[in-house]
Amino acid sequence: MPTLRIDQREISVPQGTKVIEAAEKLGIMIPRFCYHPALGSLGACRMCAVKFMEGPVKGVEMSCMVEAADGMVVSTTDPEAMEFRRYVIEWLMLNHPHDCPICDAGGQCLLQDETVSGGHGLRRYQGLKRTFEDQYLGEFVQHEMNRCIHCWRCRRFYQEFAGYFDYGAMQIGNRMYFGRFAPGPLESPFAGNIIDLCPTGVLTDKPSRYKGRRWDLQRGPSLCLHCSLGCNLVGSARYREMIRVEARFHGAVNGYFICDRGRYGFAYANHPDRPRQARVGEEAAPLDQALKTAAQRLGQIRERYGPGAVAAWGSTRSSLETLGMLQWLCQDQGWRGPQFFPQASLARRVKAAVARLDTGMAVSLRDLENADFIVVAGADPVQEAPMLALALRQAARRGATVAVIDPRPVFLPLEYEHLPVSPGDIDLCLNLLSQAARSEEAATGKLEPDAARFYGLLTSTNLEDPLLQERLLALGRKLQDCLRPVIVCNTDMVRETTPARAADQARLLQADKGQAGLFYLLPGPNAYGAALLAGREEVDLLAAMEQGGVKALVVVENDPLGSCPDQERLLRALDNLELLVGLDYLPSATAARSQIFLPTTTVFEKEFSHFINQEGRLQQAVPLHQGGTPIIQVGQGSHPPRTFLDAIPGGEPRPGAGILADLAAALSGEPAPPTAGDLWDYLSGEHEGFSQLASLTASALGEGVHLLPAEAQEPAWSPEPGEKPPEPPAGQLELLLVDQTFGTEELGSYAAPLQKVEEEPHLLLHTDLAADLGLAPGEQVALLLPGGEVTVRLQTAQNMAPGVAIMPRHRRLHWQKTGDGPVWLPPENIKKLSEPL
Amino acid sequence: MEPRRNFLAAAWEGLGELVRGFATTFIHLFRRPITEAYPEYHRPLPERSRARIILTRDPDGDERCVACYLCSGVCPVSCISMQSSQREDGRRFASWFRINFARCIYCGLCEEACPTLAIQLTPHFETCQYDILTLVAEKEDLLVDHGGKNRDYNFYRHAGVTAVGGKGEHLQEAKPVNRRSNLP
């Protein structure tokens, strides 16, 4: 621990810390452009010059390039260093254009701040300014290369940190150019981060271009709801419109960065068709009145058919408050439900995963970066939870081995081993990997009795493909020498046994090596909370509705018509209802079908909300504004109307929890529902996973709390790890419904910027299989599913499992025709419709 | 305690002052008045006096305002609001721009902040209205067809961005770097 003095203050820092970091720990921000904590030092901008008075280095040096050492005395305010920095700013500004008023970075520009604070005002040099041609870089990033000061941050992030290579540096010296070889959209789904990183206005945010200056924005800490990782955001709103979202640093979750889905998905909150008015039948009504009507009609149904005739259906995108209140309402009123997942099998998988997490096992994204062997089972990180791919890349950069066991043609921006096996074989692969990772005698000698018994039960059936088998065993041998392995497992398209098996293997590794991690991906930002609330009992509302036992359904921030895999059955079931009450903030099909509709607010509006991410971290989203129709929509692009109102136009929607509480009060005739504080107490009694909630302080909530139990709820090993899950009938294809980075995720599919970049949906088949069927890529094919026909364009891939057909749950594809569980199709069900385009 | 003054002397002194005052007033009856009869007479005010705000145009006749939000940011009474957006030709402009003159204190900070010389205060100070809403001026009420106090300045000629003029065609700019050539 070297100890040094910076500006007469002493500090001890770990070995290897740069002086600029040490100063930051003292609260001294040394001016910088190229240095960034996540990207490290470069020494390109010369801005962080300080004077070293004593110690191993003497004179003016770059504080980002010098490691702190014992006996150093550093002055950041020495006249010589200040003079040096003044000249640096002056020469960085030589070529910088005179366009701050029309630059979106103005007001949030590091170069502007440091120019002003350094006192540089007049350009003394009278020569010509250097110029560059700009490029089209896609729908997210605006390029204005004249403003560049050559700090290299964008290129270092894009290539080194994120692992994509279509954007980089060209030319030399003063003519250095940052861009692509040819104009075109940036390929990386993390491209938006170079906007945050750019210290000036070379790379600015395109969707929010010219929409407002930083000082005019209502900004606040928020959360990303576009997958289960729970990345931290700073949201910005202006004139009741969500303008922009940036990454917010969280040491354990997302670090300094977020993916483009999280960055541009927020636009659902500004959707022009977003329902902001309560509705009874076809008539718009004030929210209070619609609420009363809903309570009255729900009361009538309860009287006529009993309380079990009313059911509630929530979703994993609601805040913990809304989910908790819905649960409370169901218990209080004796309603059926609530159900939180679109299908029963998914609920079982998520519950199995959540029940196996505890403090000893769960790892955060940050821990994952420090792992040395990562098995990704049944997950395609870039498509499902992009920030996971970025964390995997950091692990790989530190030397970790990454093995992906997934039927899809997985792409990761790093070196990885991909084993394309069908979902039914993932369990087997995990078993084989485990077996190969330790020799028999080592296993039986060292392991605890329980673990050893489990190890003994592992089967040694081989994979069909000997090549895959060999690669898997080689990986297993590599795993033998690893110290910090992590198993990443998804809950989406895998077999029901897989989440539990992944946990078993992680525990086996833990028993073997003393350290191992488990990392699940869950469906939705609050799936962890929903799984805890759902408890052990199974609710199948669809079956109950079909049998006619349910007469009224309350759908809360959920769109079953979009997410339920069997739409025809759902429509029949909905026809049996006498009343459908919808609460939502999206213009969804279910919202449109509701007989009584009550508008709710998004995570950005009105009240605090909390979400639990996939590793059990409770995090808080702060409201940014008070809701209402954006002024740009009220004024239709022109100036806002010149009228005075006593309420915010379109400001009626309220948080789902509040509406449900009022509904409960109207139903029981007394103002009894729990307030926010009581709700925490109620939840902490409801499930032991929530037991910490009752004693949380406000500041702890702001930082995020890990709600994991010390001991997993489901500590038992799987009884029969050798058992093979059901296999497809011979010669049939398994249809896998999967996610894509853009286009399948519910909230993001309502966001205009993401709609512009989403890929066209396509059916993916193995190249050989397509050739056998006489199909060529690009052809339009008809896919005959149990619930009807889907027309989709065909694509083929070589690096995918042979026995599967892969289709995204794309918003432009009518995929809801499959039913629950694995779908097996005879290959004849894929028919050619047209020639390739 | 102050010695008591003679009452008569004090009265005499007071009377004297009274007569002098009336005399001064009487003399002024025959002098040329220095006041002006407003509103019959409008005094020409200096060009830099600060009253009603206008949005001027550049020498090419295009709007100078780029809606950079500096005037609204600096306004101490928050009477300026606007929405910036991009015109089809790439120029940044205000899709709406509103000044609430009922709130304006004519401090001139907006004019000082304006980097394009678009917003200017004029000597026209007669803005009284019966209806307060008529004091809310929109962009079409503010925009004039001249350059105001400085008729020559054109921000975009200096800006160095392609919205007006190509790369390298602005004042004091070199031709764009050819990034496919290593020649100096």
Domain range summary for chain A, segments of one domain joined by +: 3-92, 282-341+528-600+653-682, 349-522, 733-834
Instruction: Assign a CATH topology to domain A733-834.
Output: Barwin-like endoglucanases (2.40.40)
pLDDT at B3: 63
Parallel, antiparallel, or unpaired for β A129-131 and B53-55? unpaired
DSSP string, A496-544: TTHHHHHHHHHHHHHHHHS--EEEEE-SSTTHHHHHHHH-SS---HHHH
- Report the chain B residue with the minimal C-alpha distance to residue A145: B161
In the prediction, which pLDDT does A677 show? 66
ipTM above 0.90, yes or no: no
pLDDT at position B182: 79
In chain A, which residues have their Cβ closer than 8 Å to the Cβ of B116? 101
Using the predicted structure, report yes or no on whether residue B39 has a pLDDT greater than 70.
yes
The CATH architecture to which A3-92 belongs is: Roll (3.10)
CATH tag, A282-341+528-600+653-682:
3.40.50.740
- Residues of B near A (Cβ–Cβ under 8 Å) read 66-70, 72-73, 83-86, 92, 95-98, 115-116, 133, 136, 138-139, 155, 158-163, 167-168, 172-177, 179, 182
pLDDT at A443 over 60: no
Structure confidence at residue A727 as a pLDDT band (50, 70, 90): confident
Q: What is the mean pLDDT of residues A716-743?
A: 81
- Kindly determine whether residue B159 and residue A97, on different chains, have CB atoms separated by under 8 Å: yes
Is B179–A239 a contact, with Cβ atoms under 8 angstroms apart? no
Output the CA angle A395-A397-A403, nearest 5 degrees: 55
Nearest to A140 by CA among A264, A245, A242: A264
Residues of chain B positioned with their CB less than 8 A from the CB of A216? 69, 72-73
Tens of pLDDT, residues B86-116? 998 889 999 999 999 999 999 999 999 999 9
Bridge-partner residues for A49, per DSSP? A62
Q: Is the pLDDT of residue A641 over 90?
A: no
Tokens 């037991």 belong to residue: A691
Of the candidates A533, A699, A541, which has an alpha carbon nearest to the alpha carbon of residue A620? A699
Please give the pLDDT value at position A821. Answer: 74
- pLDDT at A837 (0 to 100): 56
Distances (CA, A) of A490 to A326, A480, A816, A818: 27, 24, 21, 20
A255 in Cβ contact with A366 (< 8 Å): yes
Question: How much is the pLDDT for A560?
Answer: 93
**Residue B84: which of A171, A210, A215 has the nearest Cβ?**
A210
List CB contacts (< 8 A) between A101 and chain B: 66, 68, 70, 115-116, 155
- What is the pLDDT, as a whole number, of residue A570? 92
Question: Which residues of chain B does A106 touch, with a Cβ-Cβ cutoff of 8 Å?
Answer: 68
The answer to whether residue A669 scores a pLDDT higher than 80 is no
**Helix A449-457, helix A498-513: angle, nearest 10:** 130
Cβ pair A390, A257 in contact under 8 A? yes
pLDDT tier at A299, thresholds 50, 70, 90: very high
Cβ–Cβ < 8 Å for A339, A670:
no
Longest dimension (CA), chain B: 107
> Hey, of B69, B70, B87, which one would you mutate to test binding to chain A, going by the most A CBs within 10 A of its CB?
B69
Torsion angle, alpha carbons of A376, A379, A384, A388, to 10: 0
- What pLDDT is attached to residue B164? 77
pTM: 0.92
Confidence of residue A256 (pLDDT cuts 50, 70, 90): very high
pLDDT at B24 exceeding the cut of 90: yes
Q: What is the average per-residue pLDDT within A27-39? A: 94
Residues A811/A743, Cβ–Cβ less than 8 Å: yes
Alpha carbon of B145: minimum distance to chain A alpha carbons (Å)? 21
**Predicted local confidence at residue A386, as pLDDT:** 95
What class is the A349-522 domain? alpha beta
Query: Tens of pLDDT along A512-527?
Result: 888 899 999 999 999 9
A146/B86 CB distance under 8 A: no
Contact B139 A144 (CB under 8 A): no
Distance (Å, rounded) from C-alpha A782 to C-alpha A769?
Answer: 16
Residue A444: pLDDT band with limits 50, 70, 90: low
Residue count of chain B, please give it.
Answer: 184
pLDDT band at A687 (very low <50, low <70, confident <90, very high): confident
* DSSP code for A265: G
pLDDT at A180: 94
**How many Cβ pairs closer than 8 A exist between chain A and B?**
102
Strand, helix or coil for residue A463: coil
A174-186 per-residue burial string, b: 16 or more CB within 10 A, e: under 16: ebbbbbbeeeebb
Q: What tokens were used for B24?
A: 């001064």
Please list the residues that pair with A830 across neighbouring strands.
Answer: A783
Write the DSSP assignment of A206-260 as a string of letters.
STTTTS--GGGSEEEEEE--SSTT--EEEEEEETTEEEEEEE--BTTTTBT---H
Distance from CA of A362 to the nearest CA of B (A): 47
In contact, A92 and A129? CB cutoff 8 Å: no
Q: Please name each of the domains of chain B with its CATH number.
A: 53-159 (3.30.70.3270)
What is the 8-class DSSP label of residue A574? H
Question: How confident is residue A233, by pLDDT bands cut at 50, 70 and 90?
Answer: very high
| Contact in structure between A684 and A692 (CB atoms under 8 Å) | yes
Q: Are A555 and A588 in contact (CB under 8 A)?
A: no
How far apart CA B168 and CA B177 sit, in angstroms, is 9
Torsion from C-alpha of A101, A107, A108, A111, nearest 10 degrees? 70
**Calpha distance B161→B167 (Å, rounded):** 7
Q: Which two tokens stand for residue A650?
A: 């379109």
* Sole residue written with tokens 């309350």: A554
Phi-psi region of A391 (alpha: psi -120 to 50; beta: other; left: phi over 0): alpha
